Amino acid sequence: MTQKIDFYTATSESIVTSLCEQLEEIRLSRNISQQDLSEDAGVSRSTLTRMADGKAISLDSFVRIMQALKLHDHLAALLPDPGIRPVDRIKQGRERKRASRKPPSSSEWRWSDDD
């Protein structure tokens, strides 16, 4: 029962709850017992019970659980690359396009009285 959460307006508590619930859903979808995951992640079973209830766990436990679930690649997406400035990131997403100029006409423009 994945819930969509608006990270811009959500409280930190609701974000933590949502992330913990998502990890629990992944564990269940892979049919991994709490006991097996706790051994693979090196965390206590009570930590996994708290996570399953949507309660806060330590960042270290969160990372260990993600690693045990083979979600390494998702850890990189948690924070933006500090080498890219925010302005450059915006420019990458939408580059400004301009209309091309028409080539100058071969004949010069004149007043109609100049004929």
Is residue 92 domain-resident? no
Residue 54 gets the label, from left (phi > 0), alpha (psi -120 to 50) or beta, of left
Is residue 68 domain-resident? yes
Euclidean distance between CA atoms 6 and 45, whole angstroms: 30
Tens of pLDDT, residues 102-114: 666 666 667 766 5
CATH number at residue 28: 1.10.260.40
Tens of pLDDT, residues 49-97: 999 988 889 999 999 999 999 998 888 888 777 777 767 766 666 655 5
Q: Give the domain range for residue 22.
A: 12-77
Residue 38, burial from CB neighbour count under 10 angstroms (0-12, 13-18, 19+) = buried
> Whole-model pTM above 0.85?
no
Higher local confidence (pLDDT), 94 or 14: 14
Is residue 7 domain-resident? no
